Amino acid sequence: MNENIKPETSFASLSASENLSRAKRERKRTPLLVATQNIGKFSEIEEVLRPLPLNLYHLKLEDFSGYLKDDHFEEHGQTFEENAELKAMHYHELIGMPTIGEDSGIIVDALAGELGVKTRRWGAGEKATDEEWIEYFMNIMKDVPEEKRTARFVCAAAFMNGEGEVAMFRGQTEGVITRTLEAPLRPGIPLSSCFRPAGKDKVYSALSEQEKNTISHRGKAFHELKDFITEVYGF
């Protein structure tokens, strides 16, 4: 990850405008908040955006703990796009820097209407460990025949700039759910161990980060976002 915010330059005591100006002045790179506490997601996003002169921050950084102490944001949108925009707006207002809100999930044809925007909250629940969640999911899918194991991952990414303007990007990847876990679980993204994208002979988690990001739902959305940021900021 890019260098963390140093204690002496903590954002906690600064106003929203001071957050942005001080970060730019001291690092000569554009600060950008990725509004997630999911380190697995952040790692994939960082891999795509790494070539740009950005300082990327996520919500698990110690310097943001004061902001998040009483934070009760809930994803109540009906679509991935709604959730992504709501998240970007919320954390842009809370922390005061350009922000990316992301929402993603899987749509499984055999479980129509059960996952989607509710993916992580579905089944074993959002408080379940990755192991508990995927065990529940694989048990539900165990008797589903091959022809009904089709699925698609969807990602929506909302970029909100310093003026509060929003740009939306979407990526989607078709594939199938394998009968067994075909790669070790990656923290925060357990479904990557049983989702095999169309045209590939490996599940997401068995692909290299670079290869996955060229075909994945999140990679597609964030490559478009990367091109947009490059043009807007003149990188």
> Mean pLDDT per segment of 10 residues, for the chain of length 235 residues?
38 58 62 93 94 94 76 87 96 93 96 89 84 96 96 98 94 98 93 97 94 95 97 87
- The answer to whether 155 and 119 have CB atoms below 8 angstroms apart is no
Which tokens hold the place of 56? Answer: 């990327």
Q: Could you tell me if residue 175 is inside a domain? A: yes
For residue 2, the model assigns a pLDDT of: 37
Instruction: Give CA–CA dist 232/190, Å, rounded.
Output: 34
66: left (phi over 0), alpha (psi -120 to 50) or beta: alpha
Q: Shortest CA distance to 221 belongs to which of 58, 105, 83, 102?
A: 102
Angle between helices 39-49 and 217-233 (to 10 degrees): 50
For residue 20, the model assigns a pLDDT of: 61
Alpha helices in the chain (DSSP H): 16-27, 39-49, 65-68, 80-95, 130-141, 209-215, 217-233
Q: Could you tell me if residue 156 is inside a domain? A: yes
Q: How many CB atoms lie within 10 A of CB 169?
A: 22
Q: Could you tell me if residue 110 is inside a domain? A: yes
Rounded CA Rg of the chain: 18
Which tokens hold the place of 213? Answer: 């990001």
CA atoms within 13 A on the CB side of 127: 0
Domain range for 184: 7-233
- The answer to whether 52 and 229 have CB atoms below 8 angstroms apart is yes
The model's pTM: 0.82
Write out the catalytic residue numbers. 103
Q: Are strands 30-34 and 99-108 parallel, antiparallel or unpaired?
A: parallel
Q: Could you tell me if residue 37 is inside a domain? A: yes
Q: Could you tell me if residue 197 is inside a domain? A: yes
Q: Could you tell me if residue 2 is inside a domain? A: no
For residue 113, the model assigns a pLDDT of: 79
Q: Could you tell me if residue 1 is inside a domain? A: no
For residue 16, the model assigns a pLDDT of: 61
For residue 184, the model assigns a pLDDT of: 95
- The answer to whether 14 and 22 have CB atoms below 8 angstroms apart is yes
For residue 67, the model assigns a pLDDT of: 73
For residue 7, the model assigns a pLDDT of: 34
Residue 113: CATH number of its domain: 3.90.950.10
Q: Could you tell me if residue 187 is inside a domain? A: yes
List residues bridging with 33 in a β-sheet.
57, 99
For residue 29, the model assigns a pLDDT of: 87
For residue 230, the model assigns a pLDDT of: 95
Number of compact structural domains in the chain: 1
